[in-house]
Structure 1
Amino acid sequence: MILSPVFSDLLATCFYRTRLVALALGVLAAVAHAAETPLYERQPSDLVVLNAASDSARLEVLPLPNRTPGAAAPRSGELIARLIDAPGEEIAIPASSIERVELFEERLLSAAKANAAKGDFNAAYDYFARLDRDYRDYTGFKEAFSKALYDEARARFAAGEYDHALALLQSLKEFSPRAEGLVKAVEVIGDAILNARWDAEDYLGVRRTADAIETQFVGMRLTLGERWLGRIAEGAQRQREKAEKLAAAGKIREALRVASGAVALDPNSPETSKLLQRLSSAEGTLWVGVWETAAPDSTPGLDTPAARRASRLVGGRLATLEAYLPAGGEYATTAGQLDVDDGRKQLSIRFTNPSSGGAYELARLLLEPSHSASDPLSLLRERAASVSVVGTDQLQIDLKTPYPQPLALAAASLPPHAANIAPGAWRRVRLPEGSEASVRYERLSGGGGFRAIEEFVYSDLDEAMAALRAQQIHVLTGVPPWKLSEAKATPGVRLAELRLPTLHCLLLHPTTPLRERREVRRAVVYGIAREVTLKKVVLGGEELEGFAVLSTAAPRGKSLGDPLRYAYNESIEPRPYEPRLAALLLTAARAADAAAEDASMAPVPTAITLAHPPTPIARAACEAIRDQLGAVGLEVTLTEASEGELAAGRVDYDLRYAEITVAEPLVDVWRLFGPGGLAGECSPPMRDGLEKVVTARTGKAAVEALRDLHRIAYADLPLIPLWQTVESIAHQANLSGIGREPVDLYQTVDGWRVTAGGSR
């Protein structure tokens, strides 16, 4: 049978269409799967859309050779292509079956435009990003991207998101500096931002915004800077005048807040600098921001940072650490003069005021029966062979054996009733009526730039930082790591670090069941992601020296060359984060409880209470610890407690987050791990290890004993070691004399002065 040419062509076309439909149906599953992956994440592929006669099938094919839009589809003949799902097979698609061909870059641009048109700019930018990476020169890309940036900036502006809108215009300027309407848009949005901040009296924001616009849009013919320059100068002058009126009315701190607005507006003004200097020292009062204050008559301890800070002012400590020297710590006392004989076996204290009876009173205290290691004088009593008063003003203490650091034994706190044996140069006084401060100290003796110190307690970190920026406080102590960049970038603010690292640990309550269950304490250690918490939560992603996870409560120092790290055994690695092991230990312990006939041992709790101080680091860390322990089967309830509440026994807890200062490990390990010390009753191996430390006659023997004690503490887990941090303080730049690394906050306070300049 012979077919006519026309009929033959028709039959061939029908056959081909049938095959194309079959091919299309065959790739539907692949196309559906590909549809789950956004186009901008897929490998390049063009789209051939067939006409209605071929069921409008859509064929994903490998990129076609002709990349000209509109010309990729042939007008006659066939289109030779390879399906993306079957690249090894070449197919021929009749031109008469093709409705259109969409190139990959054309599809990306269409999707970007469609998303931008409906206001989904985040989705649009994903497509624009792929175009920018692979098809930057594609026709229409630059225009479409510029329009999207401009349209979103307008939308953000209409929604009141001025900062976001301005950032988009900066991106537009970088991408297309001559985009139509850009100059006008910057002027309108810049004015809106500046007016809003001016009305809110955010003068620092006004200045920063004006400077940022000048920097980010350099080269554009803007009138914004010229218009606002005069307004800023006038505003600074008005703020200075307002501050002067407040100061004349005796409202010094309020005057400082207003004057800080003048600084923000005109940071290089000599008039403002002089005003600030005068206001900052007008009352002779130093204003310090803290997270908590010491309780009245509190005894300084390793775990009471507020009390230790206050003791530098009011005294009550036989000796204070002043510096670290190659031969050991340097100590001083307000009571008089400290001396050690050449054999390091005799310690003497010569009192400045013989009539005070300090020598006799201290002798009486040292001759009392020895108490628990929680008594700061316990170790000095234990090592003393004899105590005698020479004349009326000198106390002589003969030690049982030569001691590597006799002066360190004297770095002990006195009970409140005997604090006047070593009085400080300051006293705690009643606050003036109407004062916003929490505590006030006034100078009794000596000289300095300030005659009073007032501490202001902050519970909100942002509020404290705002007070620092407004110069309502001279100093903010305990600035958390994640705020250091902000503080460093604040005009007129400087940073300093304390010399002594802070050790963060979880201490056990004397009656908690955890004391009897070492396997549960190990579960707690394994259940806390200490490395991650330190890096992500405490450090906030910053990389800072001196921060490290601990395997026991001993300082690692601020660097490898720090002499303070002599008690830390680097060969003992901190236990890793093992949540499965933690859950397994808890499950096994509870199973053992259920099977045990003897109920004398306290059962493993399913829930515990974790107390913590009101500091930013402790709050953030304890929230993370609560979530981590909850995930392994130990429910945690958080409670915030001050030093005073803890000392008075008014807080019930199982664990408490403690920020410990170990200034001289040789003596402080006794106060930490000794019988009745911070860690509680110690095991026989711990007692033996401590005995080797306190009876060591040489520095070398002491170091070896301390590193052995590290192993014992690691195994016993009388407390849960977390990490070491370095405390930062932020202060006004015109406050001089703090030094780069004071041992503690008030060590150099007698030399602090408000100076001219330095406010920038």
Structure 2
Amino acid sequence: MAALVCCLVFLLLSGSAGAQDRLYEKEPFDRITLDEQNENAVLTVKPIDLPERRVPDPLPPRGKVTVQLVEKPDTAYEVQWQSIAKIELFEQIVLDEARKLAEAKQYEGAYDYFEYLEANAPATPGLNDAICDFLHLQFESFENAKLHENALAMLDEIHRRNPQRQLLSEELGRTIGSLVEQYLAKENHPAARALIESLARKFPQHALVAQWQTRWKDEGVRLLEQAKADLAAGRFRSADEAVRRQIRVWPQTPNAKETAQAVHDKYPRVVVGVASVARDLGPARLADWAARRSSRLVYRTLTEFLGPGTDGGKYQCPVGQMETEELGRRLVFRLKPGLRWSSGDAVLTSYDLARRLLALADPRDRAYCVEWDALLDQVSVADVYRVHADLRNPHVRPEAYLQTPLLPETIAASGADAPSWNGPFVLDARSDDRIVYVANDRYNIASARPKEVVERWFDRGIKAIAALGRREIDVLDRVNPWELRQLRQNKDLVVEPYAAPLVHCLIPNLRRPLPASATFRRALVYGINRKIILEHLLGENPPAGCRVISGPFSAGVSLQDPLAYAYDDTIEPRGYEPRLSLVLAEVARSELAAKDAQGQWKKLPGLVLAHPPHEIARVACTWIRDQLQVLGLAVALKELPPDACRPIPDDVDFVYAELAMWEPVADARRLLSAEGPSGGCSRYLGLALTQLDRAADWLQVSTRLRQIHRIAHDGVAVVPLWQIVDHFAYHRSLAGVGSRPVVLFQNVEAWQPEFHDSGGLP
């Protein structure tokens, strides 16, 4: 009885219960009511042997029927037909009971009765009409609750059973009309058109069909003419938006395909759905997904991380070549001639590069990098395109510190924030929910890249997925893990993992008393059921490489993953032990109370847990809050802009961070040192970081990083949660995206958006 399954939705919502004693579960019986001469006696008998289980109508005037009383099943009795006033078969009795339950709004019980009859006595007279009446009751309940989709499901099933039912056409029109308005308010024209098409198949002459199809045809023509006018006037962005909307509204518009092709050929444009919009376009941000993604559009840095390699990360120097000499104590840079920025007449020379290398070692400069300062000895200019950087000691991966933009002399000298982009795109327009980048005409690499890239913000993954399905966007830069399965079922899409996982953790604000307590941080680790939360985030068929972790570094995706060179696999993640968490939290409170002369620590205060403004962090932090509140610890959530842990706001205790710990030899200090987001560092951890700085080869690096892992684990320098391998999705019509990039736009120069005809364009 699959068609009735949809009824269960309302049953769950209404909470109604069925009869306690289900009649159909009893031994089947029939009832015979005798005539007045026999005092209208009622006989409960075993099911009567009747042809096709049908009661003769009218009852025979002569003859006998053999029956067995339920209470005396071994004895056969003969009853004269002329003495019988009425016969009720068991299936009819069950049907009558089903009707009563439905009328009493005991829907769950009624459903069970109807399901029994459809499975065991589908030929029962009146069954189909009774089910239609039952479905109509459900329809009315859904309509009253404004659950129009569920109401439509009821009407569709009624139509399947009885297309001629009275008032069905009017009710379908009213319900579909409400749904169409609802879908159009969400810009979901394909779903709205599908509803009208379904109505047309049922009732071709329905007034609603002509009304909406005429409206959409007219709007399609108007949008197509607008696109042509915009194209002729050189308003390419407007032309593309008009064409995209026209295809959504009415793809059957005549000449739509030719116009769409012309717009695409003239102005190939890619729209990317994003979960967070970049406020800061600084590259290589440790905890800012949006900045790492979008900075690649506008900047080519001195070095760029391409992904994990056999010894640390793989890097390239997109502005030239970088080599090591003098046994690793000298870096030699050879710049490509003729590289320019997006504005001005300057070209990149060795003098610009030398100034930038020195700025990275200058504590007064905004670009200051303490690790590079400790490493750099001197910088010398060999010629107009060649620079030498001499190091105090060799380093296994000095490239990790040089992921920095290069500025022309005028901007570098002034310290101004004027745009100095040297990437394939420049920022053209920004609003609350989107950023527009247009191709940089001065970019030195000739490519078939798009003329424009638009980042469009979505607050929920389900909205972005719907937009991807409607081709409002071409790419989704980050797929919620629990929605991966849904996207993989769409054969028009490619779902691809990124090259390296992110480390998720809670970073403590060591300027506040509770986060500064190692005992309390340990209590949090034991009080958060990380395994359960991760399983909830990942959903079914979790991707490889996602796991609970024991420290601040990535465990890699596979057993031999070189990315895991800092991770100590012998350290098991702490388990979920809520009782121990309660004890440790009380110990932490007592320790703080012992130092407090004002008596402010009689009980634990509430915590403020901040997180980035996107759905994965929002869902994870909600789970963390709920689990800690079960333990009696009040937690308030606070949404902050991306990279809000630089530094952590004063009123925040912990920040949920997703860290790109892709080069631990460089990233360990960025996260864990006193200059890191926590604002503090234990003496032991500080000493271990100093020893890491002096490591001369990969064996020493790995050994000291695993020592740092151990110290961070023991002291809970951060509250480790899990690592997740993120994915992105894009339409197959977008070529050149590449496999397993580090960030979405890593290969953007090779992107080639091809014209896509889904088959609906005439």
Query: 1:379 aligned to 2:371?
Result: yes
Question: 5 Å matches for 1:569-648?
Answer: 569-594=568-593, 605-643=604-642, 647=646
Aligned-residue offset at 1:205: 0.6
Structure 1 pair 387–43 and aligned structure 2 pair: CA distance change class (3 A): farther
Structure 1 pair 274–671 and aligned structure 2 pair: CA distance change class (3 A): farther
Q: Deviations over 1:574-609 (max 9, x none)?
A: 333333332332233334544567789999741122
| 291-300 vs 719-728, greater mean Cα deviation | 291-300
| 421-430 vs 671-680, greater mean Cα deviation | 421-430
- In structure 1, C-alpha distance between the alignment counterparts of 2:454 and 2:665, rounded to whole Å: 34
* Contact 2:143/2:151 (8 A) holds in 1: no
- In structure 2, C-alpha distance between the alignment counterparts of 1:45 and 1:570, rounded to whole Å: 63
Question: 5 Å matches for 1:549-568?
Answer: 549-560=548-559, 562-568=561-567
| 260-269 vs 552-561, greater mean Cα deviation | 260-269
Q: Deviations over 1:460-519 (max 9, x none)?
A: 656655655665554442332345566567796654443232222221224121343112
Q: 1:39 aligns with which of 21, 25, 36?
A: 21
Letter in 2 for 1:681: G
Structure 1 pair 690–722 and aligned structure 2 pair: CA distance change class (3 A): same
Letter in 2 for 1:259: V
* Contact 1:512/1:654 (8 A) holds in 2: yes
* Contact 1:273/1:757 (8 A) holds in 2: no
Aligned-residue offset at 1:320: 0.6
SS in 1 for 2:507: strand
Structure 1 pair 273–106 and aligned structure 2 pair: CA distance change class (3 A): same
SS in 2 for 1:639: strand
Q: Deviations over 1:616-667 (max 9, x none)?
A: 2222222332222222222222222214766587663111122211222232
Query: 1:329 aligned to 2:313?
Result: yes
SS in 2 for 1:39: coil
* Contact 1:274/1:756 (8 A) holds in 2: no
- In structure 2, C-alpha distance between the alignment counterparts of 1:367 and 1:251, rounded to whole Å: 46
- In structure 2, C-alpha distance between the alignment counterparts of 1:439 and 1:364, rounded to whole Å: 33
Question: 5 Å matches for 1:301-312?
Answer: 301-312=285-296
Q: 1:360 aligns with which of 340, 354, 358?
A: 354
| 546-555 vs 407-416, greater mean Cα deviation | 407-416
- In structure 1, C-alpha distance between the alignment counterparts of 2:191 and 2:505, rounded to whole Å: 40
Query: 1:197 aligned to 2:195?
Result: no
Q: Deviations over 1:692-714 (max 9, x none)?
A: 54444444453344334322222
* Contact 2:482/2:539 (8 A) holds in 1: yes
Letter in 2 for 1:613: P
Question: 5 Å matches for 1:135-214?
Answer: 135=120, 143=128, 146-147=131-132, 150-152=135-137, 155=140, 163-168=149-154, 181=164, 189=172, 193=176, 197=180, 200=184, 202-209=188-195
* Contact 1:429/1:442 (8 A) holds in 2: no
- In structure 2, C-alpha distance between the alignment counterparts of 1:168 and 1:413, rounded to whole Å: 61
The number of residue pairs the alignment matches comes to 685
Aligned-residue offset at 1:152: 4.4
Aligned to 2:443: 445
| 40-49 vs 301-310, greater mean Cα deviation | 40-49
Aligned-residue offset at 1:718: 1.2
* Contact 1:535/1:542 (8 A) holds in 2: no
* Contact 2:286/2:661 (8 A) holds in 1: yes
Aligned-residue offset at 1:321: 1.2
SS in 2 for 1:666: helix
Aligned-residue offset at 1:204: 0.8
- In structure 2, C-alpha distance between the alignment counterparts of 1:512 and 1:492, rounded to whole Å: 50
Aligned-residue offset at 1:731: 3.9
- In structure 1, C-alpha distance between the alignment counterparts of 2:222 and 2:520, rounded to whole Å: 64
Aligned-residue offset at 1:671: 1.7
- In structure 2, C-alpha distance between the alignment counterparts of 1:78 and 1:324, rounded to whole Å: 79
Aligned to 1:117: 103
Letter in 2 for 1:710: H
Aligned to 2:719: 720
Aligned to 2:505: 505
- In structure 1, C-alpha distance between the alignment counterparts of 2:310 and 2:484, rounded to whole Å: 31
Letter in 2 for 1:360: A
- In structure 2, C-alpha distance between the alignment counterparts of 1:562 and 1:276, rounded to whole Å: 45
* Contact 2:303/2:403 (8 A) holds in 1: yes
SS in 1 for 2:720: strand
Aligned to 2:661: 662
Q: Deviations over 1:409-445 (max 9, x none)?
A: 544678995899996325755649x998446565141
* Contact 1:47/1:104 (8 A) holds in 2: yes
Letter in 2 for 1:513: P
Structure 1 pair 430–368 and aligned structure 2 pair: CA distance change class (3 A): same
- In structure 1, C-alpha distance between the alignment counterparts of 2:611 and 2:460, rounded to whole Å: 16
Aligned-residue offset at 1:744: 0.8
- In structure 1, C-alpha distance between the alignment counterparts of 2:531 and 2:48, rounded to whole Å: 53
SS in 2 for 1:338: strand
* Contact 1:337/1:350 (8 A) holds in 2: yes
* Contact 1:519/1:585 (8 A) holds in 2: yes
- In structure 2, C-alpha distance between the alignment counterparts of 1:67 and 1:370, rounded to whole Å: 100
Aligned to 2:343: none
Structure 1 pair 76–66 and aligned structure 2 pair: CA distance change class (3 A): closer
* Contact 1:340/1:407 (8 A) holds in 2: no
Aligned-residue offset at 1:691: 4.7
SS in 1 for 2:583: helix
* Contact 1:183/1:221 (8 A) holds in 2: no
Aligned to 2:477: 477
| Structure 1 unmatched runs, 5+ | 1-34, 50-62, 82-99
Structure-2-length-normalised TM-score: 0.72
Aligned to 1:18: none
- In structure 1, C-alpha distance between the alignment counterparts of 2:569 and 2:143, rounded to whole Å: 59
Q: 1:424 aligns with which of 422, 425, 434?
A: 422
* Contact 1:733/1:759 (8 A) holds in 2: no
Letter in 1 for 2:718: L
Aligned to 1:338: 322
Question: 5 Å matches for 1:221-232?
Answer: none
Q: Percent identity?
A: 27
Aligned-residue offset at 1:319: 1.0
Q: 1:350 aligns with which of 334, 342, 348?
A: 334
Q: Deviations over 1:17-75 (max 9, x none)?
A: xxxxxxxxxxxxxxxxxx998335997578999xxxxxxxxxxxxx997698999xx99
Structure 1 pair 223–149 and aligned structure 2 pair: CA distance change class (3 A): farther
* Contact 1:260/1:469 (8 A) holds in 2: no
SS in 1 for 2:744: coil
Aligned-residue offset at 1:559: 4.6
Question: 5 Å matches for 1:277-316?
Answer: 277-279=261-263, 286-295=270-279, 298=282, 300-315=284-299
Query: 1:394 aligned to 2:386?
Result: yes
| Structure 2 unmatched runs, 5+ | 1-16, 32-43, 56-65, 74-85, 338-347
Structure 1 pair 302–700 and aligned structure 2 pair: CA distance change class (3 A): same
Aligned to 1:545: 544
* Contact 1:735/1:753 (8 A) holds in 2: yes
Structure 1 pair 245–452 and aligned structure 2 pair: CA distance change class (3 A): closer
Structure 1 pair 627–101 and aligned structure 2 pair: CA distance change class (3 A): farther
| 112-121 vs 462-471, greater mean Cα deviation | 462-471
